[in-house]
């Protein structure tokens, strides 16, 4: 993920994680969950593998 100026400013100003994530998604970031769903739909991984990765992060992506 490339960090644009707006996201960098949020990071530099110690913004909340949720705000950084929201801005990053608005600027084109693809979440781990979205990427895993795409891999499942393309037949490159299984739902079980997706669940292991996505949900092993304490319920957060």
Nearest to 50 by CA among 15, 18, 39: 39
Range of the domain at 38: 31-61
In a shared domain, residues 36 and 55? yes
In a shared domain, residues 24 and 35? no
Q: Is 50 helix (H, G, I), strand (E, B) or coil?
A: helix
Measured CA to CA, the distance from residue 33 to residue 55 in angstroms comes to: 9
Global pTM?
Answer: 0.73
In a shared domain, residues 16 and 35? no
Residue appearing with tokens 């769903």? 37
| Model confidence pLDDT, tens digit, residues 3-59 | 999 999 999 999 999 999 999 999 999 999 999 999 999 999 999 999 998 888 655
Measured CA to CA, the distance from residue 4 to residue 51 in angstroms comes to: 30
């Amino acid at each position: 993920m490339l960090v644009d100026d707006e996201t960098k400013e949020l990071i530099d100003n110690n913004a909340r994680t949720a705000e950084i994530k929201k801005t990053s998604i608005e600027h084109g970031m693809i979440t781990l969950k979205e990427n895993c769903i795409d891999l499942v739909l393309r037949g490159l991984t299984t739902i079980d593998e997706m669940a292991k990765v996505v949900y092993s992060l304490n319920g957060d992506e």
